[in-house]
Amino acid sequence: MTDVLSVASECAPLIKTGGLADVVGALPSALMQEGLRMRVLIPGYPAVMAQLSETRSVLEDPDLFGGAARVLAAEAADLDLLVLDAPHLYDRPGGPYIDESGADWPDNPERFAALSWIAARIGLEGVTDAQAEGGTWRPEVLQCHDWQAALAPEYVHAMGGTGKVGTIVTIHNIAFQGLAEASRLSALRLPPERFTPDGFEFWGRISALKAGLTSADRLTTVSPTYAAELMRDDYGGGLDGLLRSRRDHLSGILNGIDETVWNPATDEHINRTYRSARGKAPNTAALRGAMGLPEAEGPLCVCVTRLTEQKGIDLLIEALPRLLRRGGQLALLGSGEARFEDALREMAEREPNLAVQIGYDEVLAHRLIAGGDAILVPSRFEPCGLTQLYALRYGTVPLVAMTGGLADTVINANAAALDRGVATGVQFHPVIAETFGVAIDQLCDLYARSDLWGQLQRNAMRQPVGWGPSAQAYAALFREVAPAA
* pLDDT digit string, tens, across residues 71-104: 999 999 999 999 999 999 999 999 999 999 889 9
Q: State yes or no: pLDDT of 133 exceeds 80.
A: no
Q: State yes or no: pLDDT of 278 exceeds 80.
A: no
pLDDT at 27: 96
pLDDT at 275: 65
Q: State yes or no: pLDDT of 288 exceeds 80.
A: yes
The Cα 25–Cα 40 span in angstroms is 8
Q: How confident is the model at residue 18 (pLDDT cuts 50, 70, 90)?
A: confident
Q: Please give the single-letter amino acid code of residue 198.
A: D
Note whether 212 and 178 are within 8 A (CB).
no
Q: State yes or no: pLDDT of 267 exceeds 90.
A: yes
Q: Please give the single-letter amino acid code of residue 182.
A: A
Quick one: how many helices (H) and strands (E) in the chain?
Answer: 19, 20
| pLDDT (mean) for 40-54 | 97
pLDDT at 221: 98
The answer for residues whose C-beta is within 8 angstroms of residue 70's C-beta and 6 or more apart is 57, 59, 60, 61, 85, 86
Asked whether residue 16 is marked as a ligand-binding residue, the answer is yes
Report the predicted TM-score, pTM, of the whole model to 2 decimal places: 0.93
The SS3 of residue 10 is coil
Q: State yes or no: pLDDT of 229 exceeds 80.
A: yes
Q: State yes or no: pLDDT of 324 exceeds 70.
A: yes
Q: State yes or no: pLDDT of 60 exceeds 80.
A: yes
Q: State yes or no: pLDDT of 130 exceeds 70.
A: no
The Cα 340–Cα 437 span in angstroms is 19
- 353-404 pLDDT, tens digit each: 999 999 989 999 999 999 999 999 999 999 999 999 999 999 999 999 999 9
Note whether 258 and 267 are within 8 A (CB).
no
Q: How confident is the model at residue 131 (pLDDT cuts 50, 70, 90)?
A: confident
The chain-wide mean pLDDT, for the chain, equals: 96
The SS3 of residue 477 is helix
Residue 135: left (phi > 0), alpha (psi -120 to 50), or beta? Answer: left
The Cα 254–Cα 29 span in angstroms is 16
Bond into 153 cis (ω within 30): no
| pLDDT (mean) for 312-341 | 97
| pLDDT (mean) for 106-122 | 98
Q: How confident is the model at residue 274 (pLDDT cuts 50, 70, 90)?
A: low
Q: Please give the single-letter amino acid code of residue 64.
A: L
CATH number of 277-462: 3.40.50.2000
Note whether 471 and 34 are within 8 A (CB).
yes
Q: State yes or no: pLDDT of 271 exceeds 90.
A: no
DSSP 140: S
- 146-202 pLDDT, tens digit each: 999 999 999 999 999 999 999 999 999 999 999 999 999 999 999 999 999 999 999
Q: How confident is the model at residue 67 (pLDDT cuts 50, 70, 90)?
A: very high
Query: What percentage of the chain carries pLDDT values higher than 70?
Result: 98
CATH number of 2-256+468-481: 3.40.50.2000
The Cα 299–Cα 92 span in angstroms is 44
Q: How confident is the model at residue 50 (pLDDT cuts 50, 70, 90)?
A: very high
| pLDDT (mean) for 469-478 | 97
Note whether 281 and 272 are within 8 A (CB).
no
DSSP assignment of 337-353 equals -HHHHHHHHHHHHH-TT
Q: State yes or no: pLDDT of 485 exceeds 90.
A: no
pLDDT at 1: 84
The Cα 276–Cα 462 span in angstroms is 10
Q: Where are the domains of the chain?
A: 2-256+468-481, 277-462
